[in-house]
């Protein structure tokens, strides 16, 4: 597969959260270097803002040095990126969760089948919020999302009714998109990333 990663805020913050949960990071410079090794270039101002939005705090580690850490409370400061308080699983499991999730992404619940332009705009909004990465192989595209968001993203793809897409299959955090063109996966992955970036 050809890895393609968006430079969306959600994807970048997911990378930061992953690093902070696996490695003791003492400085923003150290974090910036690890991000660069993963292909994510970020300014110091953006990194500071991301750490603040993630709720990262500096705590004293076992060796006495200050290291960045993320609080564990789901949906609170320091929770994984995804943009929804309480996490997607909580929201989807709650009464009226689908309508709340649609409203959070800017959809019009109960408005029926949207027009192509509206559906395309909705897909761009949802991709900008939830798309973490896109990888292609032949006519297949694998889209990664935060936990619980894959079916929502797949639904937006289906409603956009792109003629280049045969269909989608969604799990919890992964969407498989099947392109009509036997070699159309790379172009399709790039289009998803382009639409997600345009909404930033």
Tokens 């969407």 belong to residue: 175
Average pLDDT on 83-103 reads 40
Into which CATH architecture does domain 2-69 fall? Orthogonal Bundle (1.10)
Which pTM value belongs to this model?
0.51
Tokens 């990465």 belong to residue: 133
Q: What is the mean pLDDT of the chain?
A: 76
d(CA 36, CA 38): 5
Distances (CA, A) of 31 to 12, 26, 110, 121, 152: 12, 8, 44, 34, 32
- φ/ψ (deg, to 5) at 59: -120, 155
- Amino acid 7: pLDDT: 65
Cβ neighbors of 119 (< 8 A, separation 6 or more) are: 156, 159, 160, 161
The domain ranges of the chain are 2-69, 115-198
pLDDT above 90 covers a percentage of the chain that reads 29
Distances (CA, A) of 44 to 12, 31, 33, 88: 13, 10, 11, 30
Higher-confidence position of 81 and 147: 147
d(CA 50, CA 13): 6
Is the model's pLDDT at 17 over the cut of 50?
A: yes
Is the model's pLDDT at 97 over the cut of 50?
A: no
CATH code for the structural domain at 115-198:
3.30.1360.40
Higher-confidence position of 115 and 60: 60
| Highest mean pLDDT (candidates 38-52, 62-76, 112-126, 130-144) | 130-144
- Amino acid 103: pLDDT: 43
- Amino acid 122: pLDDT: 85
Is the model's pLDDT at 153 over the cut of 80?
A: yes
User: How would residue 34 be classed by pLDDT, with cut points 50, 70 and 90?
Assistant: very high
Average pLDDT on 44-65 reads 84
Average pLDDT on 166-192 reads 94
- Amino acid 188: pLDDT: 94
């Amino acid at each position: 597969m050809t890895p393609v990663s968006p430079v969306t805020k959600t994807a970048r913050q997911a990378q930061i959260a992953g690093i902070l949960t696996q490695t003791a990071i003492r400085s923003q410079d150290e974090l910036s270097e690890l991000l660069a090794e993963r292909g994510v270039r970020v300014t110091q101002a953006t990194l500071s803002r991301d750490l603040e939005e993630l709720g990262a705090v500096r705590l004293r580690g076992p060796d006495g040095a200050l290291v960045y850490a993320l609080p564990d409370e789901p949906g609170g400061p320091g929770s994984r990126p995804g943009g929804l308080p309480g996490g997607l699983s909580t929201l989807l499991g709650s009464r009226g969760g689908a309508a709340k999730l649609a409203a959070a992404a800017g959809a019009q619940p109960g408005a029926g089948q949207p027009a192509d332009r509206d559906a395309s705009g909705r897909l761009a909004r949802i991709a900008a919020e939830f798309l973490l990465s896109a990888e292609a192989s032949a006519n297949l595209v694998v889209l990664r999302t935060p936990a619980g968001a894959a079916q929502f993203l797949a639904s937006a793809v289906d409603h956009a009714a792109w003629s280049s897409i045969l269909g989608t299959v969604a799990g919890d955090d992964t969407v498989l998109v099947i392109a009509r063109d036997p070699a159309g996966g790379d172009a399709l992955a790039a289009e998803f990333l382009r639409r997600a970036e345009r909404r930033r």
